[in-house]
């Protein structure tokens, strides 16, 4: 498998540098209501229409935690093979910002709900383990809108109070590619679990990226910078590339790196220091006095564990063993849960090899072309299964199957019906086939003589011509058999 070598280094003018990356991923819990209030989390609502008195931090309002969000954090922790802490504590992180109504964010600091865990990445140079430092629950802030007035900022608190899981990795990532794989893997695990929809365009998944550099071979970490709130994999990769280069240039000029918070300007493709964060932050964390500690019964956790679905790594292993397919194919087919479900439905009821060919071939091509997700696939797993069965029982040829598939993209009726209606059934009647063969041989007498005088290669030409003459319907196996007899 490891036919390639890891090779992400920054070549400075003086030395070769390694990039050290750690990620703080903020994943929005897929819940109906917010973490500490009963208002909706639905995306795209009118401004400030999903804000309760609690979310707006009116005087005297108190938080009450949403049990489902706690369960989702535990599920996610279990999916990351992490330690679930039966005692955890909510803290207040104090800072002022226009879209932070309470003047503090309720988060978890010293005692997070989930401790250390791990995630495995399939890299071209082998499997790589990325350590998870912790996962904690916290509230999201609102949204500041800067572009509607030249002198004012508008505040929409619809997001305020939505539950986030902050997943903190160890500084184990070494390249933009690994970071991309890591995020995809996290997203895949959470989608399998149903704990986060992973939708980066809607902000359900954002990352703070910690970047530092050190000379290859050095043991100590360099000073890191945190790039805040980057919300696409592409931008995260670009931000890392830019930031690593910036740090190398500074260090090679003999300058120091300031530990600071930066933001990524997607238009200029550069990171820069955040102006609003100029004064050093001192969050004055302390235990949230409005919420008793979160004490969990081990039974509560075990019940959740029992209900965990099969996760991508396990499913991939099973696919390799059960369907005897390559690790690569298994990886592709299990990358997201819907695809793996789709594939299994087809494979279980038809033929594994054909299922792989059709799912990762024709189907993926169509989905990619129209950027559709598999759950919006125009061809259902049932119908694709039926199509493969039609091939297997010789009702249609492989060639016809492709035409049929094209029709199925627009017509969701049973493929059997379509085949009959469009007269696509494979011709297997020997009498009929012989007629066609005779006609082809008749029209190509010169080639028949050449063949008989030893030009074996022409056999393919006869097969092709017969199939063409039958408008693709002739059963290729039968054509072969009959032609051989006729030409001998």
Partner 1 sequence: MLIYLHLPLSLMSINKETIKKISKLARISVSNQETNRLEKDLNSILKFVEQLNHLNTDKITPISSVSNEVLTMNKDEIKIINEKEDILKNSPEKNEDYYVVPKVIE
Partner 2 sequence: MTDLCKLTLVESVQHIKEKKCAALDLLNSYIKRIEKSDKLNCFNSKDLDTAIKKAKSIDEKKDFSKILVGAPIAVKDLFCTRDVKTTASSKMLENFIPTYESTVTQKLWNEDAILLGKLNCDEFAMGSSNETSFFGNVLNPYRLNNDNLVPGGSSGGCAAAVAANLTSATVGTDTGGSIRQPAAFTGIVGLKPTYGRCSRWGIVAFASSLDQAGPMTKDVKDAALILDVISGYDEKDSTSANKPKTSFLNSLKNNVKGLKVGIPKEYRVENMPEEVNSLWQEGIKILKEQGAIIKDISLAHTKYALPTYYIIAPAEASSNLARYDGVRYGFRAEGKDLTEMYENTRSKGFGNEVKRRIMIGTYVLSSGYYDAYYLKAQKVRNLIKTDFDESFKDVDVILTPTTPTAAFKFGEKSDDPIAMYLNDIFTVTANLAGLPAISFPIKFNKDGLPLSLQLIGKSFDEQTLLNTAYSIEKEVNFKSQVKDWWM
Binding site for partner 1 (CB under 8 A): 31-33, 37-40, 46-53, 55-56, 58, 64-70, 89, 96, 98, 144-146, 149-157, 263, 274-276, 279, 282, 284, 286-287, 289, 291-295
Q: Write down the least CB distance from residue 348 to partner 2, Å.
A: 48
Q: Per rule CB under 8 A, is residue 94 in the interface with partner 2? A: yes
Give the residue among 204, 263, 198, 201 at the shortest CA–CA distance from 229: 263
DSSP 254: T
Q: Write down the least CB distance from residue 207 to Zn ion, Å.
A: 11
Q: Per rule CB under 5 A, is residue 344 in the interface with Mg ion? A: no
Q: Where do the H-state alpha helices sit in 215-359? A: 233-252, 298-306, 312-323, 327-334, 337-349, 352-356
List, in sequence order, every residue forming a beta bridge with 10; answer none if it has no partner.
Answer: 17
Q: Per rule CB under 8 A, is residue 63 in the interface with partner 2? A: yes
Nearer to Mg ion (CB atom), residue 73 or residue 433: 73
Q: Return the range that interacts with Zn ion (CB under 5 A); candidates 30-38, 108-116, 161-169, 255-263.
A: 161-169
Q: Which of the choices partner 1, Mg ion, Zn ion, none does residue 166 contact, using the CB cut-off of 5 to 8 A by kind? A: Zn ion
Q: How many Å apart are CA 236 and CA 310, to the nearest integer?
A: 29
Q: Per rule CB under 8 A, is residue 60 in the interface with partner 2? A: yes
Residue nearest to Mg ion (CB): 208
Q: Per rule CB under 8 A, is residue 365 in the interface with partner 2? A: no
| Single residue of 7, 13, 59, 324 touching partner 2 by CB under 8 A | 59
Tell me the number of residues near partner 2 by CB under 8 A. Answer: 29
**Considering just the CA atoms, what is the radius of gyration of the chain in Å?**
30
Q: Which two tokens stand for residue 98?
A: 């226009």
Q: Per rule CB under 5 A, is residue 24 in the interface with Mg ion? A: yes
Q: Write down the least CB distance from residue 55 to partner 1, Å.
A: 8
3-state secondary structure 165-187: EEEEECCCECCHHHHHHHHHHHH
For residue 417, give the 3-state DSSP assignment.
Answer: helix
| Single residue of 156, 166, 288, 427 touching Zn ion by CB under 5 A | 166
Q: Per rule CB under 8 A, is residue 218 in the interface with partner 2? A: no
Residue nearest to Zn ion (CB): 166
Q: What is the DSSP string of 426-483?
A: -B--HHHHHHHHHHHHHHTHHHHHHHHTT-TTHHHHHHHHHHHHTTT-B-HHHHHHHH
Longest dimension (CA), the chain: 101
Q: Return the range that interacts with partner 2 (CB under 8 A); candidates 53-61, 251-259, 324-332, 438-446.
A: 53-61
Nearer to partner 1 (CB atom), residue 147 or residue 456: 147
Q: Write down the least CB distance from residue 80 to Zn ion, Å.
A: 17
Q: How many Å apart are CA 100 and CA 54, to the nearest integer?
A: 12
Q: Which of the choices partner 2, Zn ion, partner 1, none does residue 126 contact, using the CB cut-off of 5 to 8 A by kind? A: none
Count Cβ atoms within 10 A of the Cβ of residue 8 and give its class: 0-12 exposed, 13-18 middle, 19 or more buried: middle
CB neighbours of 485 closer than 8 A, spacing ≥ 6? none
The 10 Å Cβ neighbour count of residue 405 is: 18
Q: Which of the choices partner 2, Mg ion, Zn ion, none does residue 208 contact, using the CB cut-off of 5 to 8 A by kind? A: Mg ion
Q: Write down the least CB distance from residue 222 to Mg ion, Å.
A: 19
Is 335 in contact with 184 (CB distance < 8 Å)?
A: yes
Q: Write down the least CB distance from residue 26 to Zn ion, Å.
A: 6
Q: Per rule CB under 8 A, is residue 98 in the interface with partner 2? A: yes
DSSP 363: I
CA-based torsion, 402, 403, 406, 411: positive or negative: negative
Q: Write down the least CB distance from residue 24 to Mg ion, Å.
A: 4
Buried b (16+ CB within 10 A) or exposed e, 325-363: beeebbbbbbbbbebbebbbbbbeebbbebbbebbbebb
Q: Per rule CB under 8 A, is residue 290 in the interface with partner 2? A: yes
Q: Write down the least CB distance from residue 103 to partner 1, Å.
A: 9
Q: Per rule CB under 8 A, is residue 284 in the interface with partner 2? A: yes
Q: Which of the choices Mg ion, partner 1, partner 2, none does residue 24 contact, using the CB cut-off of 5 to 8 A by kind? A: Mg ion
Q: Which residues in the 190-249 window bind Mg ion by CB under 5 A?
A: 208
Nearer to partner 2 (CB atom), residue 259 or residue 373: 259
Q: Return the range that interacts with partner 2 (CB under 8 A); candidates 89-97, 221-229, 377-385, 394-402.
A: 89-97
Give the residue among 30, 38, 111 at the shortest CA–CA distance from 75: 30
Q: Per rule CB under 5 A, is residue 140 in the interface with Mg ion? A: no
Is 390 in contact with 364 (CB distance < 8 Å)?
A: no
Quote the crossing angle between the two packed helices 458-469 and 476-487, to the nearest 10°: 130
Nearer to partner 2 (CB atom), residue 103 or residue 194: 103
Nearer to partner 1 (CB atom), residue 100 or residue 359: 100
Q: Return the range that interacts with Zn ion (CB under 5 A); candidates 122-130, 166-174, 192-200, 316-324.
A: 166-174
Nearer to partner 1 (CB atom), residue 152 or residue 268: 152
| Distance, C-alpha 426 to centroid of its chain | 40
* Residues found near partner 2 in the complex (CB under 8 A): 53, 56-65, 92, 94, 96, 98, 101-104, 153, 155, 282, 284-286, 289-292
* Residues found near Mg ion in the complex (CB under 5 A): 24, 208
């Amino acid at each position: 498998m490891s036919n390639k070598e890891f090779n992400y280094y920054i070549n400075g003018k003086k030395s070769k540098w390694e990039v050290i990356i750690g990620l703080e991923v903020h994943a929005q819990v897929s819940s109906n209501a917010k973490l500490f209030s009963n208002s909706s989390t639905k995306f795209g609502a009118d401004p400030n229409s999903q804000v309760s008195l609690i979310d707006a931090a009116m005087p005297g309002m108190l938080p009450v935690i949403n049990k489902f969000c706690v369960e989702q954090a535990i599920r996610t922790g279990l999916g990351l093979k992490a330690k679930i802490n039966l005692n955890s504590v909510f803290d207040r992180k104090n800072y002022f910002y226009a879209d932070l109504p309470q003047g503090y964010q309720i988060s978890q600091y010293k005692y997070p709900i989930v401790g250390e865990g791990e995630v495995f990445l399939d890299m071209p140079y082998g499997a790589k383990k990325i350590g998870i430092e912790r996962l904690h629950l916290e509230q999201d802030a609102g949204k500041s809108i800067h572009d509607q007035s030249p002198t004012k900022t508008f505040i929409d608190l619809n997001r305020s109070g939505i539950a986030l899981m902050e997943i903190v990795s160890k500084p184990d990532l070494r390249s933009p590619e690994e970071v991309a794989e890591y995020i995809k893997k996290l997203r895949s695990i959470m989608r399998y679990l149903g704990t986060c929809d992973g939708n980066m365009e809607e902000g359900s998944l954002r990352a703070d990226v910690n970047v530092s550099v050190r000379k290859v071979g050095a043991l100590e970490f360099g000073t890191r910078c945190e790039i805040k709130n980057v919300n696409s994999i592409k931008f995260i990769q670009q931000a890392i590339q830019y930031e690593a280069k910036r740090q190398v240039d500074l260090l090679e000029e003999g300058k120091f790196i300031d530990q600071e918070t930066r933001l990524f300007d997607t238009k200029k493709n550069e990171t820069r220091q955040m102006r609003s964060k100029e004064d050093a932050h001192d969050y004055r964390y302390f235990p949230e006095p409005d919420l008793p500690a979160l004490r969990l019964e081990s039974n509560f956790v075990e019940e959740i564990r029992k209900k965990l679905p099969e996760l991508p790594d396990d499913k991939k292993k099973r696919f390799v063993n059960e369907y005897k397919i390559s690790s690569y194919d298994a990886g592709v087919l299990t990358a997201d849960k819907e695809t793996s479900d789709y594939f299994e439905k087809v494979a279980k009821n038809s033929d594994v090899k054909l299922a792989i060919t059709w799912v990762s071939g024709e189907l993926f091509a169509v989905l990619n072309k129209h950027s559709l997700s598999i759950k919006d696939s125009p061809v259902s797993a049932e119908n694709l299964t039926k199509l493969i069965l039609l091939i297997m029982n010789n009702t249609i040829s492989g060639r016809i199957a492709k035409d049929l598939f094209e029709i199925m993209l627009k017509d969701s009726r049973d493929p059997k019906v379509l085949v009959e209606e469009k007269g696509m059934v494979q011709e297997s009647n020997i009498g009929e086939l012989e007629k066609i063969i005779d006609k082809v041989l008749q029209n190509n007498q010169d080639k028949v003589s050449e063949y008989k005088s030893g030009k074996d290669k022409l056999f393919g030409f006869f097969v092709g011509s017969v199939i063409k003459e039958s408008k693709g319907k002739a059963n290729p196996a039968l054509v072969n058999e009959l032609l051989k007899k006729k030409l001998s």
